[in-house]
Structure 1
């Protein structure tokens, strides 16, 4: 075979591999979307929604029944408001808009005083709506903004943007570190160390608000968070996103925390950086490639599942597997495919298939096992509602990126 013939054969094989990967991604995305629409959304809008109190349930037990004694966190209410707003927006679940509006009304009525977001939102309430924890948590407030953005995108209610701006004013006044920048975890400030996670979700919320109500300064807020990512959160050598920091962004005083990173958060940031690129026009490809490369090379077990935690020296700290990193890996594949990566579709298919095989529809239809050991043994005995946010957003992204085509793959009927 001549050099030219060999080159042509290699190119044909590569093209075939890309085509096969795309067909696999389309089939996996269709099956996954059907599960979301036919099983997950109906379950969590009925059994998972307390219609009498206008709030979503926090979790379902192993029999599929609500655990009424579990405190209901503001973060979970907001994640479910997002899910059902987005589901209605896509036309996947039209009834979702009504549920989201009811839950938003309850969020304002039960989690913040006098329905005024200027004072922030309590961390949790009980089933009767009495405050369990009055702490104002940065992570929760990021999701308040995310929920507001998506419900406003659905119904256009101008009051929601007023609420968003009051929540932002609260974050600036009570949760921002005026000296070193960035967010404290909560108000009152009990622990002055910092975490990357609230910053990531505040970026997500800022992007969502810019899309829902452009030109009001939300993109500028997102840009500041991108700068924190570049200068504080990301460690260029060896290319990892650290989780924990001291108040001044130096190494965390706890030796066990100072070098931790989570592959799932790498994948989550890959998608967020690409979303920010779309709005800003900035090129964040170098960071996207490093985050994605490190997570794929070091963060995946031989089983194909994603490790919970690694150290910056790439040793595995926690060999267990949560459900959500696999959804974020599928979203990251969508983001890297936008950047031209030829193998992204095959990776998306692998992550969606891992979800279906290892986590979904267990131990009841429409539910999931949230956390398993390295050996695949469940580490929890309930299905947390909080995971639906991850599961749904992955379905929305992959079904858009890999729509059913004419490649002969079967789209499973939703029943």
Structure 2
């Protein structure tokens, strides 16, 4: 199956490539991107969210036993560097949004919910992979910083320490992802409360009406308005919520199947056009407004199909996922440097990326991790060969 060819490609070629080229040994930190020829990023500027996601990938892969030999060591060194350079203490503490890995200087001191959520995800898996209590302490410190620095009177959390507008669902979605990982791996009552608060925002603010599309942009009191770009929708995020909602239901023994089906059907209806199997990046008034199709929405669509297959057992979802995996490898990975991909295509499937961003490594890994865990469950269910 194409799904397992994608898994093999990632584990045998992509992850080892990024472990070798995507990590700067001189400073002990991951890079922001590779150049189009597969060479390392020349500049030292990195976003906190990007390096945090690479820390997560290598820690999670190490825990599952499928990582390159040095992955966990690199993940721990990268977090130590990140914390030393980017942590800002005080009553409104948190991690700076960007820094220069060469000079160890902060280049953007704003504390951002998106970045903070990615750090929580990384810390959850560092704790799980190593069992070291210091990561538990960092998790507690990061949760307190989010609640203090990004407190918002109208629910959820502020976009950043500056209170920037519009407010977005995307950082809250990734906060949910991080708290899900905390609950799945190292559950406490505090983690469960945080996960519950984050998931509740889906029904209270992000979805309007029982079959409403997932909204992205809001005013300061969560109002929808053209002033804040509320007419712009991202099909990839609708698919990502299918995956997260399925995990929430497994954690809490709840059932939001109808929401998942509505989200996926809306994503496919508004995001696919011209007979392409791929989603466009952005739509407005339910029509495509972006000529681009980045890799990550396609991977999130793949995860949505897999989630619904795991939820229902319906073989049609598995077939859709397999067809999509084949299309992704054919369009996004053919002609790219070994271990890399074309990160963005135009509507004629021509590459238009300027770099190979490390952020997409995270999206690919989350799909592959689901396949690795699916295989592990299948082995447990199968009769023992030694019985």
Give the alignment's TM-score, normalised by structure 2.
0.92
**Coordinate RMSD, CA, aligned:** 2.1
Asked if structure 1 preserves the Cα contact closer than 8 Å seen for 2:92 and 2:148, the reply is no
Match of 1:119 among 93, 104, 117: 93
C-alpha deviations, 1:122-172, integer Å up to 9, x for none? 111112221111111110000000000011110011111111111111111
What is the rounded CA distance, in whole Å, between the counterparts of 2:376 and 2:327 in structure 1? 19
What is the rounded CA distance, in whole Å, between the counterparts of 2:327 and 2:209 in structure 1? 30
Q: Compute the displacement of 1:120 (Å).
A: 0.6
Structure 2's unaligned 5+ residue stretches are: 379-387
Aligned match of 2:136:
161
C-alpha deviations, 1:204-257, integer Å up to 9, x for none? 0000011221124212111111211101001226521011011111113527x2
Asked if structure 2 preserves the Cα contact closer than 8 Å seen for 1:30 and 1:399, the reply is no
Q: 1:401 to 1:304 in 2, by over 3 A?
A: same
Q: Compute the displacement of 1:113 (Å).
A: 4.1
Aligned match of 1:194:
167
C-alpha deviations, 1:389-410, integer Å up to 9, x for none? 00111111134446899xxxxx
Asked if structure 2 preserves the Cα contact closer than 8 Å seen for 1:233 and 1:242, the reply is yes
What is the rounded CA distance, in whole Å, between the counterparts of 2:6 and 2:230 in structure 1? 37
Match of 2:11 among 37, 41, 54: 37
Aligned match of 2:214:
241
Asked if structure 1 preserves the Cα contact closer than 8 Å seen for 2:211 and 2:259, the reply is no
Give the alignment's TM-score, normalised by structure 1.
0.86
C-alpha deviations, 1:18-41, integer Å up to 9, x for none? xxxxxxxxx112211111111111
What is the rounded CA distance, in whole Å, between the counterparts of 1:265 and 1:293 in structure 2? 13
What is the rounded CA distance, in whole Å, between the counterparts of 1:188 and 1:362 in structure 2? 42
Match of 1:363 among 324, 333, 336: 336
Aligned match of 1:261:
233
In the TM superposition, 1:65-104 aligns within 5 A as 65-93=39-67, 94-104=69-79
What is the rounded CA distance, in whole Å, between the counterparts of 1:362 and 1:279 in structure 2? 41
What is the rounded CA distance, in whole Å, between the counterparts of 1:369 and 1:216 in structure 2? 42
Aligned positions, number: 375
Q: 1:285 to 1:266 in 2, by over 3 A?
A: same
Q: 1:74 to 1:289 in 2, by over 3 A?
A: same
Match of 2:111 among 112, 131, 136: 136
Asked if structure 1 preserves the Cα contact closer than 8 Å seen for 2:94 and 2:149, the reply is no
Q: Compute the displacement of 1:98 (Å).
A: 1.0
Asked if structure 2 preserves the Cα contact closer than 8 Å seen for 1:59 and 1:70, the reply is no
Q: 1:231 to 1:52 in 2, by over 3 A?
A: same
Asked if structure 2 preserves the Cα contact closer than 8 Å seen for 1:74 and 1:122, the reply is yes
Asked if structure 1 preserves the Cα contact closer than 8 Å seen for 2:271 and 2:279, the reply is yes
Q: 1:229 to 1:95 in 2, by over 3 A?
A: same
What is the rounded CA distance, in whole Å, between the counterparts of 2:349 and 2:187 in structure 1? 45
Aligned match of 1:18:
none
